Amino acid sequence: MRVSIANELIKFEGYGEHEDVYSEEMLEIMRDCFYDYAIKNQINVLRLADAVWLLSQSLCGNQPVI
């Protein structure tokens, strides 16, 4: 969820940049968004999930050490 929001794969209005948006409701909204996107664009849902996961892994693995 963090990577999807940080990279603007999904945007939410009404939330501050550093505001904690984690909740079961937010996860459900994001799942629905990704599912609807996959269906609308005739993309295999599992392939989309893998792509988002790989993006997350790649980006998180390249974070600077503080």
pLDDT along the chain (66 residues), means of 10: 77 75 85 93 94 83 58
Whether residue 66 lies inside any domain: the answer is no
The reported pLDDT for the residue numbered 60 is: 74
The reported pLDDT for the residue numbered 35 is: 94
Residue 16 belongs to what domain range?
Answer: 2-61
The reported pLDDT for the residue numbered 37 is: 92
Whether residue 36 lies inside any domain: the answer is yes
Spatial CB neighbours of 1, under 8 Å, sequence gap ≥ 6? 21, 22, 26, 27, 30
What global pTM score does this model have? 0.68
Whether residue 17 lies inside any domain: the answer is yes
Whether residue 56 lies inside any domain: the answer is yes
**Domain count for the chain:** 1
